[in-house]
Structure 1
Amino acid sequence: MTMETASLTGIIKTIFWLLVIYYAVKFFFKLFGPAIFQSAVKRAEQSIYQQYQNQQQQQSQQQYTAPKQDKPQEKKKIGEYIDFEEIE
């Protein structure tokens, strides 16, 4: 069994590639980040608008209608109203 030891050049190469990958990812996020964010916001906006429309449709379908009465009941007529005037 042979044991390999880490060499200084191997460590330096690994650190170099990690830095290159880090800065490349950072650069691409700065370049494409606003477009990705804008598309995500548009999708969320459309979803919220669709939910609002669905809610409005459900409310219009479930509007309250008062129960209809066939004929209103007539009040009993007791007699005519007579207005008395005072005589002095």
Structure 2
Amino acid sequence: MQEASFSGFIRTLIYIIAIYYIIKFLARIFLPVLVKKVVQKAGENFQKQQQQAQGNSWQKTANKDEIIIDTANAKKPRETKKVGEYVDYEEID
């Protein structure tokens, strides 16, 4: 059976602390660059989607020289839902 020595414990503790600070230092250097690239990539994807959506809608309306206005919803007022009957309660003394 092996026994743990105090010097081995201290050495392991120093390794853990050193690795923690090395990772923290590297994260400060590389994390902003990584986040910047991810944000740029997401921005490019968003712009591509917007351009495709605008391009598709422009092509659809450019081929037709007519404007269609849907007035069906404008004529019908919104109906409120009737859930039930309102009951007024009074306190009894």
Residue equivalent to 1:5? 3
CA distance in 2 between counterparts of 1:9 and 1:61 reads: 75
Q: Please give the residue correspondences for 1:5-44 in structure 2 after superposition, counting only pairs within 5 Å.
A: 5-44=3-42
TM-score by length of 1: 0.62
Shift in Å at residue 7 of structure 1? 1.6
Match of 1:57 among 55, 73, 86: 55
SS in 1 for 2:2: coil
Residue equivalent to 2:88? none
Task: Indicate the structure (1 or 2) with the bigger Cα radius of gyration.
Answer: 1
Shift in Å at residue 61 of structure 1? 3.0
Q: What letter matches 2:2 in structure 1?
A: E
Percent of aligned pairs sharing the same letter: 30
CA distance in 1 between counterparts of 2:45 and 2:10 reads: 49
Where has structure 1 moved over 6 Å in runs of 4 or more? none
Tell me the C-alpha RMSD between the 2 structures: 1.7
The number of equivalent residue pairs is 64
TM-score by length of 2: 0.59
CA distance in 1 between counterparts of 2:36 and 2:3 reads: 49
SS in 2 for 1:61: helix
- Structure 1: gaps of 5 or more residues: 67-88
Say which structure is richer in helix.
2
SS in 2 for 1:5: coil
